[in-house]
Amino acid sequence: MRWRIVGLALASLLSIVAMTGVMAYGLWLADHFVQRIDAVHRRFEVIAELDGRANAYAKQVAGVLLLGRGEMPAVQTARIDMERTFARLTRATRDELTTLGGITEMVPELEQLEDVRRMIELYHAIDASAARALAAARDGNASEATQLYGRDVAFRLANELQPLIDRALAEERNEVAAELQQVQRTQGTILVVAGILAVVSLAVLSGLGVLLYRAVRRSGERLEAQIESRTGELRDANARLRAVDTRRTRFLADVSHELRTPLTVLRGEADVALRGQPGVDELRQSLERIRGQSVDMSSLLDDLIAFARTDAESQQHLPADVRFDEVVIAAAEEAQVLAEPREVSVITELGDNGAHIDADFRRLKQALMIGLDNAVKHSPPGSRITVTTARTAETAAIGIADQGPGISDEDRPRVFERFYRGHGEGALENQGLGIGLAIAKDIVERHGGAIRLDNGVDGGAVLTLELPLAKGAGR
Q: How far apart are the first and last CA of the chain?
A: 113
Residues with Cβ within 8 Å of 55's Cβ and at least 6 positions away in sequence, in order, are 244, 247, 248, 251
Helix (H) or strand (E) holding 95: helix 72-97
Residues with Cβ within 8 Å of 7's Cβ and at least 6 positions away in sequence, in order, are none
- Please write the tens of the pLDDT for every residue from 23-66: 676 666 666 666 777 777 888 888 888 888 888 888 888 888 88
Lowest mean pLDDT among 87-96, 121-130, 240-249, 362-371: 240-249
Handedness of CA 333, 334, 338, 341 (dihedral sign): positive
So what's the pLDDT on residue 4?
A: 66
Q: How confident is the model at residue 408 (pLDDT cuts 50, 70, 90)?
A: confident
Per-residue pLDDT at 311 exceeds 50: no
So what's the pLDDT on residue 14?
A: 78
Lowest mean pLDDT among 87-101, 368-382, 411-425: 411-425
Lowest mean pLDDT among 112-116, 119-123, 325-329, 389-393: 112-116
Q: How confident is the model at residue 104 (pLDDT cuts 50, 70, 90)?
A: low
Which amino acid does the sequence have at 223? L
- For strands 461-468 and 450-455, give the pairing: antiparallel
Q: Calculate the average pLDDT of the chain.
A: 77
Report the alpha-carbon distance of residue 45 to residue 258 in Å, rounded.
33
C-beta neighbour count of 156 within 10 angstroms: 19
For range 278-291, the mean pLDDT: 68
Per-residue pLDDT at 100 exceeds 80: no
| More confident position, 147 or 304 | 147
Question: Could you write out the DSSP letters of every residue in 219-281?
Answer: HHHHHHHHHHHHHHHHHHHHHHHHHHHHHHHHHHHHHHHHHHHHHHHHHHHHHHHHHS--SSH
For range 172-194, the mean pLDDT: 72
Cα 447 from chain centroid? 24
* pTM: predicted TM-score of the whole model, two decimal places: 0.39
Which amino acid does the sequence have at 98? T
Question: Could you write out the DSSP letters of every residue in 449-468?
Answer: -EEEEEE-TTSSEEEEEEEE
For range 407-413, the mean pLDDT: 86
Per-residue pLDDT at 314 exceeds 70: no
- Please write the tens of the pLDDT for every residue from 214-269: 555 776 677 778 777 777 777 777 777 675 565 455 445 444 544 554 455 456 55
Listed in sequence order, the DSSP H helices in 98-161 are 103-138, 142-148, 155-156
So what's the pLDDT on residue 346?
A: 94
**Do the beta carbons of residue 364 and residue 436 sit within 8 Å?**
no
So what's the pLDDT on residue 273?
A: 61
Q: Which three-class secondary structure state does DSSP give residue 159? A: helix
Q: Is 379 exposed, middle or buried (0-12, 13-18, 19+ CB in 10 A)?
A: buried
For range 382-408, the mean pLDDT: 93
Handedness of CA 122, 123, 125, 129 (dihedral sign): positive
Q: How confident is the model at residue 431 (pLDDT cuts 50, 70, 90)?
A: very low
Nearest-Å Rg of the Cα atoms of the chain is: 33
- For strands 345-349 and 384-391, give the pairing: parallel
**Do the beta carbons of residue 411 and residue 468 sit within 8 Å?**
no
Per-residue pLDDT at 310 exceeds 80: no
- Please write the tens of the pLDDT for every residue from 437-458: 888 899 999 999 999 999 998 8
Per-residue pLDDT at 116 exceeds 70: yes
249-177-36 Cα angle (round to 5): 105
Lowest mean pLDDT among 82-96, 123-137, 163-177, 324-338: 163-177
Report the alpha-carbon distance of residue 82 to residue 316 in Å, rounded.
32
Helix (H) or strand (E) holding 49: helix 2-67
So what's the pLDDT on residue 212?
A: 44
So what's the pLDDT on residue 257?
A: 40
**Do the beta carbons of residue 284 and residue 274 sit within 8 Å?**
yes
Residues with Cβ within 8 Å of 401's Cβ and at least 6 positions away in sequence, in order, are 375, 385, 386, 387, 388, 456, 460, 461, 462, 463
